[in-house]
């Protein structure tokens, strides 16, 4: 066994959850290692000879630690808070393109309304975004902010724990979510959507996805993300 095994694990993991980027999978796997040296030792199981195995484990351990350090830090969203995003939601397409607010950019070729895939952490908006009513735009923007929180929970594993516990509805035999919050089918998307719905209609979330409701409140509190007025975890 060697480093390739780790890459194989990433691939298997990614096959089962193809919506995750390789980077997300690697971070998740690395974050789940209780003890890197123990992991490295386990990964050398197939090697004969203690000496050879120790040497290989040391190399793997170094690689694992380097890779863990390289995992990108989440860009913390501090410019806009959920309750101030309406200012962005109200902008016309023309005004937005002319002077995108800090932390935003426009992409005329974007197929979806918005995403948060920009490597610098900016929210990208496309033409479809501006076809939505202002209220809906606001929720879309909160969903995108929710991806910062979601990314944290993918790294600390709590998004996967919630998914496994059934917080986002049933899974099929392949372990894939069948229909989560508003039809989202990945742990990460469900966390981002849970955060958006918490702002849009918290009582609905609490009623239909109670575990997700409590999970997202806990995650928001733990990681310093604002909660809407009057929302409590009821515990
Ligand atoms: Zn999303």
Structure tokens at 230: 């009057």
Instruction: Give the contacts of 128 (CB within 8 A, at least 6 positions apart).
Output: 110, 111, 112, 113
To which residue do tokens 């808070």 refer?
81
Whether pTM exceeds 0.75: no
CA 40 to centroid of ligand 1, rounded, Å: 34
Q: Is the pLDDT of residue 29 over 70?
A: no
How far is residue 46's CA from residue 20's CA, in Å, rounded to a whole number? 29
Residues listed for the chain: 235
Distance of CA 69 to the CA centre of its chain: 18
Q: Find the 115 Cα to ligand 1 centroid distance in Å.
A: 6
User: In this structure, what is the dihedral angle of CA atoms 185, 194, 148, 104, given to the nearest 10 degrees?
Assistant: 90
Ligand 1 centroid, distance to 146 Cα (angstroms): 8
Give distance in angstroms: CA of 112 to centre of ligand 1.
10
Burial of 181 (0-12, 13-18, 19+ CB in 10 A): buried
Number of Cβ within a 10 Å radius of residue 60: 23
Centre of ligand 1 from the C-alpha of residue 75, in Å: 16
Distance 144 CA to ligand 1 centre (A): 6
CA of 6 to the centre of ligand 1 (A): 28
List 46's β-bridge partners, or say none. none
Cα-Cα-Cα-Cα dihedral of 172, 173, 175, 178, to 10°?
-10
Whether the predicted pLDDT of 213 surpasses 80: yes
Q: Give 124's strand partners.
A: 105, 115
- The pLDDT, as a whole number, for residue 13 is 56
Unique residue bearing structure tokens 């919630």: 162
Distance 183 CA to ligand 1 centre (A): 11
Tokens of 3: 């480093």
Identify any residues that bridge with 106 across adjacent strands, giving them in sequence order. Answer: 125
List the one residue out of 165, 146, 153, 157 whose CA is nearest residue 209: 165
The model's confidence at residue 94, banded by pLDDT at 50, 70 and 90, is very high
Ligand 1 centroid from CA 143, angstroms? 6
What's the pLDDT tens digit per position in 148-186?
Answer: 899 889 888 899 899 989 999 988 877 778 889 998 888
**How far does the centroid of ligand 1 lie from the alpha carbon of residue 137, in Å?**
13
Between residues 32 and 113, the one the model is more confident about: 113
Q: Which residues surround ligand 1, an ion (CB under 5 A)?
A: 189, 192
- CA of 235 from ligand 1 middle (Å) equals 28
């Amino acid at each position: 066994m060697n480093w390739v095994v780790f890459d194989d694990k990433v691939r298997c993991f990614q096959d089962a959850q193809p919506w995750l980027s390789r980077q997300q999978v690697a971070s998740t796997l690395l974050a789940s290692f209780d003890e890197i040296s123990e992991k490295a030792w386990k990964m050398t199981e197939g090697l004969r000879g203690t000496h050879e195995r120790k040497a290989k484990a040391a190399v793997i351990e170094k690689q694992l630690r380097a890779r863990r350090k390289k995992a990108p830090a989440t860009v913390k969203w501090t410019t806009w808070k959920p309750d101030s995003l309406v200012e962005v939601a109200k902008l016309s397409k023309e005004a937005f393109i002319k002077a995108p607010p800090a932390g935003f950019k426009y992409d005329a070729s974007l197929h979806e309304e918005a995403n948060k895939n920009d490597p610098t952490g900016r929210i990208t908006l496309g033409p479809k975004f501006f076809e939505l009513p202002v209220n809906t735009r606001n929720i879309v923007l909160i969903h995108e902010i929710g991806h910062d929180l979601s990314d944290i929970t993918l790294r600390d594993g709590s998004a996967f724990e919630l998914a496994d516990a059934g917080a986002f509805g049933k899974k099929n035999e392949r372990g894939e979510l069948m229909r989560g919050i508003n039809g989202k089918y990945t742990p990460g998307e469900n966390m981002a959507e849970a955060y958006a719905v918490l702002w849009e209609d918290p009582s609905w979330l609490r009623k239909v996805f109670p575990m997700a409701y409590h999970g997202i409140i806990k995650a928001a509190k733990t990681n310093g993300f604002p909660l809407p007025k009057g929302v409590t975890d009821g515990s």
